[in-house]
Structure formats: C-alpha cells, structure tokens
Structure 1
C-alpha cells in the first residue's frame, strides 16, 4: 500500500518572515516524532514522511508519502494538530484550510475485479498486476477529518468481493423440506387472471399495485389474524405502529442507501402556498394531464423514503440509547400499513408487488435469546404451512438479507454454530408471471448479530453484546399461495381460516360495466 499526497495548508493571513525558519524546525521535529508514533521500529519505512515542503507567505506546501502504517492522510491530521497551536501562539496566524493538489493511492488486492469499479471522490480507479491505482479528487478538510479515505478503500474491497457473489442461489442450502404435495394444489396456473375475473382484485394504474376487493381482503385479514394468534400472541410480541416515512439518516444507518435503486423516495413541496402551484393546476385543468416536469420543479430533493423493510424505525428507537439485558427481550410486531419496493418492469402477477402488506417482527436481546426467538418464529410459521395451508415448502439457509441490503458481503465465518438467515420457500406447479421460477419466497428469518447495534450506536449497561433479529411475514403473499393450494371455493377452505371470516365471504360490488 502506498500513499502520495500533495497539498497546501492555507493560512488565515500572511506569515512574518521570521516564521519560515521556525516552521522548518517544527516540520523536522514532527517527522521524527508524531509521524512515527505507533509505527513498529521494523516498519519505519511504512510511516508517513515529509518528502517535500515549501513555506510561502500565505500557505505551506507539503508532499507526504507513506505505506500502510501511518498513512499520509493520517499524518496530515497529526501535522495540523501539531502545527496549529504552535504557529498560532508564536505568530498569531491560524491554519484556515487545505487545498489538495494530488492524492494517489496504490493498494494490493486479494482478488482481481471482474469488471470496472467506480467510486466517489476519484478521478480514476485502475487495476493492474494485482493492484488498484486510485487518483482522488474533491478531497477537502471534511474528508480528512471524517476519514473518507480509509472508508473509500474499504468500499473498494467490498465492491470487488461483491462481484464474486452471484446471488442467493450460490450461497443457499436446503436444511429441511416438507413431503411432496404439489398434486394436492387446486390451481395449476397463476391465479391472477382468475382473481381478476372473479372480481377479487382490480387493476390499478400503477405497476405492482392492485385494488384488493372484499373477498381477497377477507382472506388476507384472516391470514393476518392467524399469524398473530399462532405466533405474535403466544410469543408475547407487543404491537406497535412504526412510521412509514424513513428519514435519510435512518435509511443510511439501516444500510438502505446501498439499495437506493429499489426505494420509493419522497419529496416535500417547496412551498405550501397555493399560488406557487397555480401554473401546474391551470395546465392540468386545461389539458387534462398533469405536467410532471413542471411539478418536479416545485419539489424539494428527497427528504425520506417510503419504508422498504418495515423494521427501520425499530432500530431508531434505540439510537444512542443504553439497554438492559437483565430485562425481558424487547419484542415488537407491526402491521400498521404497507411497505414499498420499486421492482421496475418485473411486476406482472399479484405474487410480487410494489405496495404490499406485511407483519413485521423485530426483537432485541442477548445473542442466545435472539437466535432462540428467531428459531421459534420459524418453527411456528412452518407449522402453519404444514398443518393448515398444506403446501409443499422448504427452508433454506441463505445470504443474510440485511447484508445484501447494505451492499456488503460477509467474508468471515461466525464463531457460533447457527445460521443468520433462513428463507421459507413454497413450491408452485407453475412459473410465476413475474419471474421464470416455480417457487415463491414467502418469509425471511434473520439474526443480525450486533450489525444494527453498531450502526445505531446502542449499547448494554454492562457492555454485553446486544443483538437484534427480524422476520417479515406477508399476508398478501401467503394469501397467494393459499389460493393456489385451496382454490376460491370458500366451503373447501380449512376451518382455521374460515373461522376468522364467518359463514361466507363478502362480495365485491356489482357494476353495469364490470
């Protein structure tokens, strides 16, 4: 690893002539002390070195070179802290800012990238002979103070590692499965056209969003009630109402900026004054269309996203808080409203939705209890599929979904013998309309370890490890596989579902034209 940094330290006023010699002395002293601090004697060549300097009236020009030990940007910050009080006290001159002329980095790679990599703050990222060569740009004092440089190098390695992950299939293994049951399924094809024909759903002018009408709504609510009665209540989960507007800082801490391409972003109006939107209103009334570009001009940049995972607010509850693991585990579930995911053109049937309804379970406790809670939820969910839904399914151990969302790849094995993420997958007798596969993932069961404790800065009163977990169960997707298995004849449905609905299904309205 090699760093070459050329820059000017700018003064807030001109130096007196006598300052030049003194600053030279201080630079020599720094090179023999603070720039070597923490570097082993057998690796001095890896420390930061001042290889060139020039003292001007209003600035100090420096060229810093280093290896991996005391890196050039770390050396710069040490120099700043070393020089600022001395120059200020002796000559009444302050250090104002830095102006980077050139910043080159050479770093060895464990893997050869499979395709080009782009990074912010870089003029170029080149690869040759097992190394990456970076030229940085737009680096200011904030970048040095907040250590953007080391974070950038970490991100480089993460992006290269991610190129070697080809998806869940490459990292998944089936851990158990139900007996074969496909021959029992009442429907042999996607139920979306049938649900449209029977007026259980109606198309809506937005891809992945449907009008869910009384019969299908009754089924979805019945499944929701079943899940709450069989999982949430006996496991003592408490119901909460989580917000669906997720501020940018929460999106960042959750790791969702890495999936910005899948999130619906929310923009506030620039003004609440009706006159500000008058031209938009006039145009719409006259033309019968909404002027999208003109409307966009009236909006602020995004301030939040629509909830993607539903559990984002759970971790925000504990932001910078201290918890007590001597208390009972904190266990919440939420069914307040829908979550949203942008799936572009991949939405054709009702099995994959832009707007969908889920029951989200989230909990916080010790490592052992977090794993125990996750496994118990999975056991109970399997029992519903096995004993009531009577579908063919399997459980697979797979890539931790929270790492996928954060754009990260797990490189090390856990010390504990357990699986971080299980997916519950139902087999179908047909390919879904949205994807060419005869399966449907219907729930994900996750142990996060201390991933969110670190990102949301919460700790335990005695510094014991704090872990979290989450499970999302979508009644709308469960209703889909229920219909495939049992059909639309209410009288043939299992009594465990019918009891939540009553003697018969509610009907959709009769219209002259539909």
Structure 2
C-alpha cells in the first residue's frame, strides 16, 4: 500500500520565526521520529513537502503500511506539542487532513465500481489492477478513531459482497433424519386463516387465537421439560428495546440495520406541545403522520431483534470467577421484531415472532460440551416427539455473512448450525427450499471480546446461543402433520392435551 497525505497543523501562535531552522528539524523527524518501529530495510513515512504560513504548518507526507502517514501525523503532533510547548510556549490547536490518497491491491479486484457513502470518501477509482482511494476532510477525531482503517476494511467488505452477489452462503450437510410419510401437502397458513385459528393483524404480524396459542405454549413446555430444566438453564427477563450502541458492539449495526424496527421517544412530554396534534386528530379522525414525525425524537434504540445482546452487555468489563462457570440462561419474556421486506408469506416468516433464547457462557470446553448436549436434546424433540423430517447443516455465521465473507470461521468449533425442515407444500423434498426453523451458534470470543469480559484469571470466555422460534416450529409441524390432531404424533398429543374449540363467526 502507498499513501500520500496533505495536512495542516495549526498552532496557538505564529511559527514563521522557525522557518530557517525547520529543514534540520524535518530531517530529524524523517530520520528518527518516523523510523521508530519501522523495520530497517522497510520504508516508513516521510515529510516530502512543507510550508509555514503564520500559525499553520502545511505538510505533505508519503508513506507505507509500516508507518501510515496519518499515524505519522498523530506522532508528529505529539512531538511538536511537547517540543514547542517546552521551548516557545506554543501549543498545537488542531490537525486537519484536506486530501489523502491511498493505493493498494485488494485481495479480490471488484468487477464494478465500489462506493463507501461517508463524507470522508471523495472517490474510489480502479486503475491498473489497483484501487485509488481518495479521502478528504479528516479531522483529529477521524484519525484518532481509526476512520481510515475502517474505510479500507469497508471497501474490502463491499468487494466481497459484490463478488458474493448471487452466490449461496456456505452450506454443508452434517446430519439428516429419516424420511417421513407425507400426511399433508397444503400450505397451513390460508387454512388456519379460514378456520379462524389466526388472523393477519399487520404486515408480518399475526393474531393467534386459542388453538395456535396452545400449540406454541406446548412447544415451550416441551423445550422447558426436555432442554432447559434438565440442563439447568436459568430464566432471565431481558429488555425488549435495545439501544443502538449495544447493537453496534455486537455487530448487528450496521449488518442488520435494514431489518430493525426503530424506537423514537416523544420529543417532549408537555401536553401543550402535542395540542395541535390532538386537535388535528379530533377534527379529521385521521393521523397526521408528517406532524407526528416532527414531534418525535431521533431513533436511538430498536425493538428486540435478537434477544441475547443485552445479556452480553450485562457482563461488560467484568471478571467472572471460574467456579461460577458455565453460566446458562434462557429468555422468553417478550416478542422479537424483524422487518423481512418482500420475503413475507405466511407464518413461516414473520415480522413479529415469539422466541425462546438460550445463551450459555463458559470456557471453550464448557461451551462446546453444552452445544453437544443441546444437539442431542433437539434431536430427541424433533425425532421422537414432533416426528419431523429435518436436517442439520453447518453454515456461514450471520456475522460473517453480513460482512460479505463466504466461508467459515477458521476454528472449526466456532460457527452456526442451521436446523432445516422440509415443507411438503413447497414441492419435492429433493428440489424445494427447506425452511430454517432453528439454529445454534458457538460464537467463540466474539461477544466476550466486544464487551471485554474474561475470567478472574484473565482467561478467555466463549459464548453460545440458540433461538427457538415458536412460529417456525408451528409452521414446520403443521406443514408436515396437517391441522387434524388425530394425525399428529401421539407423544406430542399427550403433552398437548385437548385443543380449545374453534371460534365460529358469522
């Protein structure tokens, strides 16, 4: 990589009187200050042009990856602030990079134009099997907070995403159940609507009446009986509105930003502030959405997208005694929301859904051991109680897929296993798309690193999670077993008991 930076450093007083001695100082800076930490045979950074105008030092710095010019500039600011402060009582007020050009060969060349839509990126040009990245208007905050590195990383991600374009994520079959006799081959959603079991309330939101409610509560009872109690998971109640800063730490922002339901509080509580809104509604019997928008604060949170992030936040910067490990939790205290865009159909893909989130925290060995125990428990439920036709596949973890990465984690124990089931109404099992109705992820140290928690002895902590989507279980079960209880597995019916009566409306 090659770098060329044009910057201005402004001082608290004019420094014109230093012009005569400055060439010697620049030579010392290039030969000493900018050589620290750079291998002897490699190039670091060099000031190739400078000028002094009043309180401003104007610089052009060129360099390589061994000492990038923006890091050299930060190093120079500290050096001159100490030197000029001590010798002339002059301080550094600010640094500002007007233009910054970076040339490099990415791991994969893009097939089309790459854009990073932030104000510091002026242009990205593909030329002679290289990318020329032109940056602009970088202040000290942008340099100190590593915007340059993140822009370069984002470029690589976007290149991967464009190459990823139409390709499937990594998918590797690791286990498959036996084939089951087809009991029913109809889509259960319209039939449940016709019978009054469910009713579409909003886009991707269903109202569940007593029958489907009892079925899903039975699924939860089975999960508690077969998994949560035997493996000694403890119930918690996690918040269902999550600050965006929490999702930033876990990687859901920006990866899933297009799928959140955002939360805005009122700009003011004062009833007088809302009086014109109330008057409008009283007179028109309509919602003035433009006026409402003016009265809401900017969104700073979202409704629960994935239940586990607040739990990881709980451990932020804490040390956990090893004798307390493993920690095992579950939460089913509220709904989750995801905007699915054009992917909505029936109950198999919702915006609002009910889920049991299972989270475990411990040493690497403990987390892997719990994963294996969970897999066996899930197998028992799906094979022996629900009698499903299903399979397990090792897939690209969500946090890699969202970054445009196609493969798997290097460490084989880390990653996601999808549980998929055949929906007969979609077509033959060999050709149709199976529904992912459950997954299990071992995230390694991803979340403990993000929130900086370790054991009391400083050892790394691993985490795992698995979400039981009750609507997905319902969609799979009814798609394979139909809507007639007499055709359902006997073990499930025994746990279920008698179904409520259908509600007949005229």
Aligned to 2:252: 256
Once the 2 structures are TM-superposed, how far is the Cα of residue 410 of structure 1 from its aligned partner?
Answer: 6.5
CA separation in 2, counterparts of 1:422 and 1:174?
10
- Cα 1:96/1:330, change in 2 over 3 Å: same
Provide the alpha-carbon RMSD of the alignment. Answer: 2.0
Aligned to 2:338: 341
* 3-state SS of 1:84 partner: helix
Once the 2 structures are TM-superposed, how far is the Cα of residue 14 of structure 1 from its aligned partner?
Answer: 2.7
Q: Which of 362, 367, 370 does residue 367 from structure 2 map onto?
A: 370
Contact 2:185 2:479 in 1 (8 A): yes
Contact 2:325 2:363 in 1 (8 A): no
Once the 2 structures are TM-superposed, how far is the Cα of residue 130 of structure 1 from its aligned partner?
Answer: 2.2
CA separation in 2, counterparts of 1:318 and 1:118?
37
Aligned to 1:164: 163
Render the CA deviation track for 1:51-99: whole Å, top value 9, x for unaligned.
0111221111111000111110010011001000111222222111123
Aligned to 2:2: 2
Aligned to 1:50: 47
Render the CA deviation track for 1:394-418: whole Å, top value 9, x for unaligned.
111111123335x352667624x43
TM-score if structure 1 supplies the norm length?
A: 0.92
- Cα 1:386/1:444, change in 2 over 3 Å: same
Contact 2:196 2:504 in 1 (8 A): no
Gapped regions of structure 2 (runs ≥ 5): none
Render the CA deviation track for 1:172-195: whole Å, top value 9, x for unaligned.
0111111111x332x211111111
* 3-state SS of 2:307 partner: coil
Contact 1:427 1:439 in 2 (8 A): yes
- Cα 1:430/1:490, change in 2 over 3 Å: closer
CA separation in 1, counterparts of 2:306 and 2:366?
22
Render the CA deviation track for 1:115-170: whole Å, top value 9, x for unaligned.
32222220111112221111112311101111211222122222222333357844
CA separation in 1, counterparts of 2:408 and 2:492?
44
> Does residue 13 of structure 2 align to residue 13 of structure 1?
yes
Q: Which of 489, 493, 496 does residue 494 from structure 1 map onto?
A: 489
* 3-state SS of 1:351 partner: coil
CA separation in 2, counterparts of 1:240 and 1:413?
30
- Cα 1:244/1:404, change in 2 over 3 Å: farther
CA separation in 2, counterparts of 1:451 and 1:256?
12
CA separation in 2, counterparts of 1:474 and 1:147?
39
> Does residue 65 of structure 2 align to residue 71 of structure 1?
no
Aligned to 2:144: 145
Q: Which of 315, 321, 325 does residue 322 from structure 2 map onto?
A: 325
TM-score if structure 2 supplies the norm length?
A: 0.94
Once the 2 structures are TM-superposed, how far is the Cα of residue 40 of structure 1 from its aligned partner?
Answer: 1.2
> Does residue 179 of structure 2 align to residue 184 of structure 1?
no
CA separation in 1, counterparts of 2:367 and 2:142?
37
CA separation in 1, counterparts of 2:268 and 2:84?
49
CA separation in 1, counterparts of 2:40 and 2:389?
64
* 3-state SS of 2:305 partner: coil
Contact 1:202 1:210 in 2 (8 A): yes
Once the 2 structures are TM-superposed, how far is the Cα of residue 108 of structure 1 from its aligned partner?
Answer: 1.4
CA separation in 1, counterparts of 2:380 and 2:161?
35
Aligned to 1:33: 32
- Cα 1:297/1:86, change in 2 over 3 Å: same
Contact 1:402 1:448 in 2 (8 A): no
* 3-state SS of 2:256 partner: helix
Q: Which of 276, 282, 292 does residue 285 from structure 1 map onto?
A: 282
- 1:79-478 to structure 2, matched below 5 A, reads 79-119=76-116, 120=118, 121-165=120-164, 169-181=168-180, 183-185=181-183, 187-204=184-201, 206-257=202-253, 258-405=255-402, 407=403, 409=405, 414-415=410-411, 417-418=412-413, 420-431=415-426, 437-478=432-473
Report the more deviating stretch, 93-102 or 228-237. Answer: 93-102
CA separation in 1, counterparts of 2:198 and 2:434?
22
CA separation in 2, counterparts of 1:55 and 1:33?
22
Contact 1:192 1:350 in 2 (8 A): yes
CA separation in 2, counterparts of 1:501 and 1:275?
53
Contact 2:397 2:408 in 1 (8 A): no
CA separation in 1, counterparts of 2:372 and 2:337?
27
Report the more deviating stretch, 373-382 or 493-502. Answer: 493-502
Once the 2 structures are TM-superposed, how far is the Cα of residue 19 of structure 1 from its aligned partner?
Answer: 3.5
Contact 2:396 2:408 in 1 (8 A): no
CA separation in 2, counterparts of 1:26 and 1:247?
49
CA separation in 1, counterparts of 2:166 and 2:394?
13
Contact 1:189 1:429 in 2 (8 A): yes
- Cα 1:111/1:137, change in 2 over 3 Å: same
Contact 2:371 2:464 in 1 (8 A): yes
Contact 1:429 1:438 in 2 (8 A): no
CA separation in 1, counterparts of 2:408 and 2:32?
37
CA separation in 1, counterparts of 2:241 and 2:142?
30
Contact 2:98 2:137 in 1 (8 A): no
